[in-house]
Amino acid sequence: MALIWIYPSLFFLLHLLTPILALRTYPENEVTLLDSMSALGDLGWEAYPAEGWEEISVMDERNTPMRTYQVCNVMEANQNNWLRTRHIARDGAQRVYVEIKFTLRDCNSLPGVPGTCKETFNMYYFESNNPSLWYIKESQYVKIDTIAADESFTQVDVGDRVMKLNTEVRDISNLSKKGFYLAFQDVGACIALVSVRVFYKKCPLSVVNLAQFPDTVTGGDSALVEVRGACVNESEEAEPPRMYCSADGGWLVPIGRCVCKPGFEEHKDYCQREYPLPSAHEGL
């Protein structure tokens, strides 16, 4: 194993990255199902075999522990190290997104490595109604993609305090069971998995043409989801209001509208009672 002499480099980079990661904010139309950066204690993910992925803790600038996983078995061929998350309830979403942030060591910068070092790793998922699986059965998992680093770091980068954090986003479509497990397979890379975030997109509650459209989860593929609107207070349908929720979590193509009932007038997104102008003799 080559962990002893590579750990300091990974730790150093993680300390440089924590101020950036701690300040992350997310769009209104994204609902987070899992965020490893928000874990208060051990993530408790399953790693197999034991000498593969290792959970470590670093402190961010607020003295809050950050949990990450790393592996660096680059001296031995035929690596097959698996890391599996806990069960992730899909919350009714049919399509979810996986955002990973990681650092990866340039194999050419590792002295004495006999050609067994890799610069990619694999990501898988397994749908399940069982939230308590403790084992990893590789044949059950569906491959999402092979993940490669746009930028890999060297010992020179560490010395120059240069941060090279990679971010990749993949999606999983047409989910149907209660939840799923994510898994990461290392085949011989020197990598620190800094952050894993799983989320889905929704079209947020909105009022258009005096019709209210509720929070709506996007569809399981790229198809639009048609949503019927409900007229706001003191309004009624002139034509049935409809809109379409896009796969990106945006509302499209408003059709129909509501109008204020007699005696009420439109004011921004609602109807308010009309107040007649005072007559000339009022107030005298």
What's the token pair of residue 96? Answer: 């979810």
The pLDDT score that the predictor gives to residue 12 is 47
pTM: 0.84
Assign 13 to helix, strand or coil.
Answer: helix
* Cα-based distances in Å from 155 to 13, 202, 233, 250: 10, 42, 64, 44
Is 158 among the domain residues?
A: yes
Share of the chain above pLDDT 70, in %: 82
Amino acid present at 261: K
Residues 157, 59 share a domain? yes
Check the CA dihedral 274-275-279-280 and report its sign.
negative
Mean pLDDT of the chain: 85
pLDDT digits (tens, 9 = 90+) for 73-90: 988 889 999 999 999 999
Q: For residue 238, give Cα distances in angstroms to 231, 255, 264, 280.
A: 10, 11, 15, 36
Q: In the listed set 151, 183, 201, which residue is the last one of a domain according to the structure?
A: 201
pLDDT 10s digits, 7-41: 444 544 555 555 555 556 889 999 999 999 887 77
Integer Cα distance of 252 and 243 in angstroms: 6
Identify the bridge partners of residue 120 per DSSP, sorted by sequence position.
148
What is the percent of the chain where pLDDT is above 90? 60
Whole-number pLDDT of residue 227: 97
- Which residues constitute the domain of residue 264? 204-273
Q: Which residue has the higher pLDDT, 136 or 193?
A: 193
Please provide the DSSP assignment of 96-163 as one string.
EEEEEEEEEB-GGGSTT--S--BSEEEEEEEEES-TT-----GGGPEEEEEEE-SS-B-HHHHHTT--
Same domain, 117 and 188: yes
CA-derived radius of gyration, the chain = 26
CA 61 – CA 57 distance, rounded (Å): 13
Q: Rounded to 5 degrees, what are φ and ψ at 4?
A: -60, -45
Answer yes or no: do 112 and 181 share one domain: yes
Same domain, yes or no: 143 and 166 = yes
Is residue 129 domain-shared with residue 237, that is, in the same domain? Answer: no
Are 51 and 105 within one domain? Answer: yes
Is 90 found in the same domain as 196?
yes
How many domains, the chain? 2
- Contact between 163 and 17 (Cβ < 8 Å): yes
Same structural domain for residues 256 and 131? no
- The verdict on 75 and 122 lying in the same domain is yes
Q: What integer pLDDT is reported at residue 276 of this predicted model?
A: 65
What single-letter DSSP state applies at residue 6? Answer: H
Domain's final residue, options 168, 201, 234: 201
Three state DSSP letters for 145-199 = EEEECCCCECHHHHHCCCCCCEEEEEEECCCCCCEEEEEEEECCEEEEEEEEEEE
Instruction: Give CA–CA dist 46/43, Å, rounded.
Output: 9
Let me know whether 158 and 64 are in one domain: yes
51 with 72: CB under 8 angstroms? no
Last residue of a domain, one of 170, 201, 232: 201
pLDDT tens-digit series, residues 247-265: 999 999 999 999 999 999 9
132 and 230 share one domain: no
**Domain CATH for 236:** 2.60.40.1770
Burial of residue 140 (number of CB atoms within 10 Å: 0-12, 13-18, 19+):
middle
Whether 5 maps to a domain, the answer reads: no
Domain shared by 46 and 135, yes or no: yes
